């Protein structure tokens, strides 16, 4: 069977799954019909990732501080291996994300999962983001200087 | 010197029971939850995450509750908790230029591409206590306005394009080298800027604030302007070995401050502004600003400046900026030092005896 998705596609859906609010993700996944069964390859495990930043935002790298991350790997009864790496300590979030990652790699399941899980998560994220942006935009400030300090 | 002592188990157990009761306070008053702390004491949580050097709101909130609001104790708890977890690896460097902005201001340019947004700020408040806050009154929802899709690049890029400030970017070969990690390798002075930034990022806000303030008062001449302060969400990505490509782990809130400082020039480079950089987990604006000032002051040698002030003394600043280390050493003085003190006591008595004998001899 030829692979029907690119690395880029997979990065996109993994990002959607990682960013999703855990409760929404778990609700959508538990309500999804036609799941294959999954066996754990690696039970959910919480550890640390050292976050790197750049001096001046764009310069040389440095180690800024750590963040908790939970990872999980599963294999589906249809043979796909799913991985998840998610900020925080929510093992259910990581397990659901790994299972959905495996499911999305199955050509037969992709369309349903995309419609029932990925798109709703994306929409929820976009909606929350637009609301946040609107609130921030209302605090946009246009300072103007008085005669002192202006060139003319 | 501290010498181990035995005994006191019952008293210690009871002291901890009393602590638990005091922590709870009056049982007729509702107990505060870590979730409430995480939601409503957000800036406290941010500070504990920053100085605890661990981004995890839930753990930081719990630490604040357990520490009865003692922030340094909470930072200590977070640091201790961190040591129980395995490290999966290092993230890709954050792209703070792509930040989802909550706040972005500049004290150097009033018109920025992408605009200035104040976000949730204490600035321009009157600092009058608001008694209405304690009455449970409903909060008016935040105003909204149409959104613009303009990009929000780093403000200092404007100066960089004109060659008026030292470039932030590094040479590709510098970018290939592994940054130092003071959590893995012991500190030996002098250190490079990467390790300095790591230590400052977890350093005590109060200590860095005082040092930053000292640079403004003349103890290291580098008059700063806040080129840009930005707060917002940034994606963290990581390359797991088993996948071999970068995956997004989610987003974290970051505060970033870029200071523009007094210019330098030499025979080979025309006068240009220099930079100081500050960054923190969460919304810790005062910390990021202070860090940027101290980062700039610590670049004295690199920029050919005389080191005359405490804020420019790398060994002094970095050896004392960590509040967990500092509190450990200061607070250990509370522990029994009986044997040590006995010997001091003996010494003083002997010296007094000898001096007394001397005096008598002199009198005779």
Mind listing the pLDDT tens digit for each residue in A74-133? 999 999 999 999 999 999 999 999 999 999 999 999 999 999 999 999 999 999 999 999
Give Cβ neighbours of residue A101 (< 8 Å, ≥ 6 apart): A10, A13, A14, A17, A82, A83, A84
- Predicted confidence at residue B3, as pLDDT, reads 66
Find residues 27-46 of chain A whose CB sits inside 8 Å of chain B: 45-46
Set of chain B residues whose Cβ sits within 8 Å of the Cβ of A53: 93-94, 96, 197, 254, 279
- Predicted confidence at residue B1, as pLDDT, reads 63
For every residue of chain A, DSSP letters joined together read ----S-HHHHHHHHHHHHHS-HHHHHHHHHT-SS---EEEEEEEEEEEEEEEEEGGGTSSEEEEEEEEEEEEEEEETTS-EEEEEEESS-HHHHHHHHHHHHHHTSHHHHHHHIIIIIHHHHHHHHHHHHHHHHHHHTTEE-----STT---
From A49, A129, A137, residue closest to B100, measured CB to CB: A129
- Predicted confidence at residue B331, as pLDDT, reads 95
Is the pTM here over 0.90, yes or no? yes
CB atoms B56 and A68 under 8 Å: yes
Average of per-residue pLDDT across A2-25: 94
Nearest chain B residue to A66 by CA distance is: B54
Helix (H, G, I), strand (E, B) or coil at B258: strand
- Predicted confidence at residue B237, as pLDDT, reads 98
From A47, A51, A131, residue closest to B91, measured CB to CB: A51
d(CA A107, CA A15): 20
d(CA B17, CA B22): 9
Question: Do residues A62 and B177 lie in contact, with contact meaning Cβ atoms separated by under 8 Å?
Answer: no
CB atoms B55 and A141 under 8 Å: no
CB–CB contacts below 8 A, A to B: 230
- Predicted confidence at residue B287, as pLDDT, reads 98
Render the burial of B102-137: b for 16+ CB within 10 Å, e for the rest.
bbbbbbbbeebebbbbbbebeeeeeeeeeeeeeeee
- B167 to chain A, minimum CA–CA distance in Å? 8
Whether the per-residue pLDDT at A149 is higher than 60: the answer is no
CB atoms B198 and A64 under 8 Å: yes
From B56, B148, B170, residue closest to A60, measured CB to CB: B170
Question: Do residues B292 and B278 lie in contact, with contact meaning Cβ atoms separated by under 8 Å?
Answer: yes
Strands A140-141 and A38-54, sheet pairing: unpaired
Inter-helix orientation angle B285-297/B205-216, to 10°? 60
Is pLDDT larger for residue A36 or for residue A150? A36
Report residues of chain B scoring pLDDT below 50: none
Q: What percentage of chain B reaches a pLDDT higher than 90?
A: 76
Set of chain B residues whose Cβ sits within 8 Å of the Cβ of A49: 87-91, 236, 238, 249
- Tell me how far CA of residue B50 lies from CA of A70, A73, B250, B341, B358, in angstroms: 20, 30, 18, 38, 59
- Predicted confidence at residue B158, as pLDDT, reads 87
Strand partners of residue A40: A74
From A46, A55, A138, residue closest to B143, measured CB to CB: A138
- Predicted confidence at residue B132, as pLDDT, reads 86
Say which residue the tokens 């600092």 belong to. Answer: B127
Output DSSP code: residue B1.
-
Nearest chain B residue to A8 by CA distance is: B245
Strand partners of residue B163: none
d(CA B307, CA B220): 8
Quick check: A137 contacting B, CB < 8 Å? yes
CB atoms A88 and B250 under 8 Å: yes
- Predicted confidence at residue A2, as pLDDT, reads 56
Helix (H, G, I), strand (E, B) or coil at B134: helix
pLDDT band per the 50, 70, 90 thresholds, residue A148:
low
Question: Do residues A134 and B145 lie in contact, with contact meaning Cβ atoms separated by under 8 Å?
Answer: yes
- A138 to chain B, minimum CA–CA distance in Å? 5
CB atoms B93 and A52 under 8 Å: yes
Strands A81-87 and A61-76, sheet pairing: antiparallel
Question: Do residues A61 and B194 lie in contact, with contact meaning Cβ atoms separated by under 8 Å?
Answer: yes
- Predicted confidence at residue A5, as pLDDT, reads 94
d(CA B211, CA B326): 16
CB atoms B154 and A57 under 8 Å: yes
């Amino acid at each position: 069977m030829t692979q029907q998705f690119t690395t880029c596609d997979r990065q996109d859906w993994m990002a959607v799954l990682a960013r999703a609010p855990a409760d929404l993700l778990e609700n959508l996944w538990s309500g999804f019909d036609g799941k294959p069964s999954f066996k754990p390859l690696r039970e959910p495990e919480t550890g640390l990732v050292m976050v790197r930043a750049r001096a001046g935002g764009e310069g040389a790298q440095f180690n800024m501080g750590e963040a908790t991350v939970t990872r999980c790997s599963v294999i589906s009864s249809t043979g796909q291996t799913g991985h998840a790496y998610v900020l925080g300590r929510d093992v259910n979030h990581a397990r659901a994300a790994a299972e959905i990652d495996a499911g999305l790699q199955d050509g037969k399941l992709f369309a349903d999962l995309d419609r029932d899980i990925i798109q709703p998560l994306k929409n929820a994220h976009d909606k929350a983001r637009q609301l946040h942006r609107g609130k921030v935009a209302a605090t946009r400030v246009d300072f103007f200087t008085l005669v002192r300090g202006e060139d003319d | 010197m501290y010498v181990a002592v035995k005994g006191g188990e019952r008293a210690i157990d009871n002291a901890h029971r009393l602590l638990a009761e005091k922590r709870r306070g009056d049982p007729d008053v509702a107990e505060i939850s870590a979730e409430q702390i995480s939601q409503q004491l957000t800036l406290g949580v941010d500070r504990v995450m920053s100085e605890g050097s661990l981004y995890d709101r839930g753990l930081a909130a719990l630490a604040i509750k357990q520490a009865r609001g003692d922030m340094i104790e909470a930072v200590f708890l977070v640091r201790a908790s961190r040591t129980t977890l395995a490290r999966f690896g290092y993230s890709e460097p954050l792209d703070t230029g792509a930040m989802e902005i909550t706040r972005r201001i500049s004290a150097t340019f009033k018109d920025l591409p992408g605009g200035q947004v104040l976000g949730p700020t204490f600035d321009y408040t009157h600092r009058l206590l608001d008694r209405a806050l304690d009455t449970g009154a409903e909060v008016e929802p935040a105003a909204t306005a149409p959104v613009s899709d303009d990009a929000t690049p780093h403000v200092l890029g404007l100066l960089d394009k004109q060659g008026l400030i030292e470039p932030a970017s590094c040479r590709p070969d510098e970018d290939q080298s592994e940054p130092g990690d003071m959590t893995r390798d012991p500190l030996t002075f002098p250190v490079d800027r990467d390790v300095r930034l790591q230590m400052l990022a977890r350093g005590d806000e109060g200590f860095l604030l005082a040092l930053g303030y000292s640079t403004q008062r003349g103890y290291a001449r580098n008059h700063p302007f806040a080129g840009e302060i930005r707060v917002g969400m940034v994606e963290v990505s990581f390359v797991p070995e088993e996948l071999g490509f970068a995956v997004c782990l989610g987003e974290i809130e970051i505060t970033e401050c870029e200071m523009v400082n007094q210019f330098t020039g030499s025979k080979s480079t025309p006068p240009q502004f220099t930079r100081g950089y500050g960054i923190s987990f969460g919304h810790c604006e005062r910390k990021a600003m202070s860090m940027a000032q101290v980062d700039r002051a610590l670049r004295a040698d690199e920029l050919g400046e005389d080191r005359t002030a405490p804020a420019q003394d790398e060994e002094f600043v970095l050896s004392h900026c960590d509040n967990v280390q500092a509190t450990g050493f200061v607070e250990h003085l509370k522990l029994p030092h009986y044997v040590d003190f006995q010997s001091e006591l003996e010494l003083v008595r002997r010296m007094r005896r000898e001096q007394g004998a001397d005096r008598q001899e002199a009198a005779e």
